[in-house]
Amino acid sequence: MGMRSYLRFLRRCAGVSLKGDWRYYAWIGVLAALCVTGLNAYAKQFVAGLEITGMSDQVSWGVYIANFTFLVGMAAAAVMLVIPVYIYKNEDLHDLVIFGELLAVAAILMCLAFVTVDLGRPDRFWHLIPVIGVFHFPGSMLSWDVLVLNGYLLLNVYICGYLLYCRYQNRKPAKWFYIPFVFTAIFWAISIHTVTAFLYVGLGGRPFWNSSIVGPRFLASAFTAGPAFVILALQVVRRASATAGDGARRQPRGDTAASRRQLHRPATAADLDLLALYLPELESVSPEERRECLAGATILAVAAGDVLLYQGALDNDAFFVLKGRVVVRREEGGRYRTTRNIGPGEQFGEVSALTGTPRAATATAAEPTEVLCLPQESLRSLMRNPKMNEIITWRMGERLMISDRSLLILRAIVQVSMIINVFLLANEIFTEFYNTNGHDVSWRYLVLGLDGYHALVPWFWTALTLNIGAMVILMLPLSRRLKWLNLACLMCIFGIWIEKGMGLVIPGFVPTPLGEMVEYVPTWNETLVCVGIWAFGLLCFTIFLRMSVPILQGELSRANEA
């Protein structure tokens, strides 16, 4: 039974991932074509060997490992959404945690692909599998990386899968089944990036990397680029899951079924019994408490299309659905997006009832619907029961809100991380340049060029300009406006990508430990492989979002399986 319903869940997820409008198909089509192009380039490399890349014995790692390093950071940054929610109980980011973790999954898949294409003998990957192969643990930092990356992948797949499946079933996730994993994932995320930094830091023969500040720099840059990417991705989700058309159906404020008191009748004990069928927690409410709650409660029967409450209105009744279905839509930046799709036993309108704030969204009956309408005091009395309090409070958190507020919380994270990142870079630059002790040749090559070689100089200065530019924008109030925020985020992502990739991996090899100057420039084929892997990662992330957004909105749930 459980297995069958889980398989049905997976089948429906797969089904929804194949559906979308023309923009979705175009995007998926372009990504798929780029994936195949990358696959073709990799097939060529597989035949010719790594000779087809720009790498050499002098510069023996290139853009593959550079991208790998950057993406481990992106994956680690998912915790920057998790920490505020689970440690600081910040509800604004609640649903966004799942998006962050899905990004982590896609990023780790890309990491694994980048490592694989970098291997000279990918057919021998099994030598790396503990027990079957020979796993050099704990001696080799690379073996640590294999463990932490795959462990992180499993953790995130499990957490996302469990939370989404619970939401699909409209079931409250059991704390013991995910909270321990969430906290493990927080430490694990920090470990994946620290371990990746140690890959470099542990090499005593490479002074450019052999610096204890590299680990902290890795974390700071990851916590900049990751949330910056999430800020952009969330706005794409917000736009893609919203429609411009729904606004036309808007009616003048105040003219709701509730305000018209249409088909009203006082609620009775029988109505609460009906509700208890869908809401088992209600069983624990004593008859006296139920009677107390029924005072002032009414039953409202409405037709499909009737509006039950309006976004922005100041009324404060709370509702429970008894029959039918209610769709909750929210206006965000001129567009309308479904935040919930509610069936019998579920509540809406309780936030305004409890806080007195204006309605956050508009609720419309999707079919002939009966709802139990509770005045503020009745809801309060119901919530004096601890079980009811728990379920109602939990459900308050379970709605897909990509508010500007949550974007601004992420902005604060990006802002602080970028300041720390630039500060740490300044520390390193000072240490290397104030003293001329011969430790600094790779730094000189990166920043100023050395002996007429300066392939990396434009990369470094571009990254520095982007990072400092982004930091300045983020520190100014104008970055509260989304246009500026998005610009700053793009600058962060590209700046960090260069800093962690070309700016970190390549100079470690130039000059060689024997002082030879050989530069590295990626080849066309190598670039195509990278593009293919990025397309593959974005394809995964897109499909993950395509599946999870309808689940979070309640459009894809067990209730509407038929």
Partner 1 sequence: MASDTTDNGMSRRSFLRTSTVLSAGAAAIAAGLAPLRKLGQFTSVDEFVQKYYKELSPEEMKAVLARIEDEVQRQYGIRPHVRDYKPMNGVEFVYALNLTRCVGCRKCVHACVAENNQSRNPEIQYIRVLRMPNDGTFDVDKGDHNYAPKSVPEPGVFYMPVQCHQCKNPPCVKVCPVKATWQEPDGITVVDYNWCIGCRYCEAACPYWARRFNFTDPSIPPDQLNLNMSYLGNRPRRKGVMEKCHFCIQRTRAGRYPACVEVCPTGSRKFGNILDPDSEVSYILRNKRVLVLKAEVGTLPRFFYYFDV
Binding site for partner 1 (CB under 8 A): 19, 32-33, 36-37, 39-40, 43-44, 46-51, 53, 55-58, 60-61, 115, 118-125, 127-128, 133-136, 139-143, 146, 199, 202-206, 438, 441, 508-509, 511-516
Q: Report the residue number, 2 or 438, with the smaller CB distance to partner 1.
A: 438
| Secondary structure of 422-472 as H, E, C letters | HHHHHHHHHHHHHCCCCCCHHHHHHHCCECCECCCHHHHHHHHHHHHHHHH
Q: Which DSSP state fits 127? A: G
| CB 133, min distance to partner 1, A | 6
| CB 161, min distance to partner 1, A | 25
Q: Report the residue number, 320 or 445, with the smaller CB distance to partner 1.
A: 445
| CB 168, min distance to partner 1, A | 19
Residue 249 phi, psi dihedral angles, 5° rounding: -80, 0
d(CA 160, CA 178) in angstroms, rounded, equals 10
Q: Report the residue number, 55 or 282, with the smaller CB distance to partner 1.
A: 55
Residue 308 phi, psi dihedral angles, 5° rounding: -95, -35
The full DSSP string for 209-265 is T--TTHHHHHHHHHHHHHHHHHHHHHHHHHHHTEESGGGGG---TT--HHHHTTTEE
Q: Report the residue number, 136 or 249, with the smaller CB distance to partner 1.
A: 136
Q: Report the residue number, 169 or 512, with the smaller CB distance to partner 1.
A: 512
Q: Report the residue number, 122 or 254, with the smaller CB distance to partner 1.
A: 122
| CB 534, min distance to partner 1, A | 16
Q: Report the residue number, 257 or 529, with the smaller CB distance to partner 1.
A: 529
Q: Are strands 318-323 and 369-374 parallel, antiparallel or unpaired?
A: antiparallel
Q: Report the residue number, 141 or 228, with the smaller CB distance to partner 1.
A: 141
Q: 289: which 2 tokens? A: 């408490």
d(CA 237, CA 335) in angstroms, rounded, equals 12
3-state secondary structure of 356: coil
The burial of 202, by beta-carbon neighbours within 10 Å (0-12 exposed, 13-18 middle, 19 or more buried), is given as middle
Q: 75: which 2 tokens? A: 């994956």
With a CB cutoff of 8 Å and minimum separation 6, the contacts of 312 are 253, 358, 359
Judge contact between 163 and 175, C-beta under 8 A.
no
Q: Report the residue number, 377 or 516, with the smaller CB distance to partner 1.
A: 516
Strand intervals (E) in 268-390: 298-302, 307-309, 318-323, 326-332, 335-342, 347-348, 362-365, 369-374
CA distance from start to end of the chain? 16
Q: Report the residue number, 296 or 508, with the smaller CB distance to partner 1.
A: 508
With a CB cutoff of 8 Å and minimum separation 6, the contacts of 78 are 100, 101, 103, 104, 156, 185, 189, 226
Q: Rg of the Cα trace of the chain?
A: 27
| Secondary structure of 140-195 as H, E, C letters | CHHHHHHHHHHHHHHHHHHHHHHHHHHHHCCCCCCHHHHHHHHHHHHHHHHHHHHH
| CB 210, min distance to partner 1, A | 9
| CB 139, min distance to partner 1, A | 6
Q: Report the residue number, 109 or 374, with the smaller CB distance to partner 1.
A: 109
| CB 537, min distance to partner 1, A | 17
| Secondary structure of 36-67 as H, E, C letters | HHHHHHHHHHHHHCHHHCCCCCCCCCCHHHHH
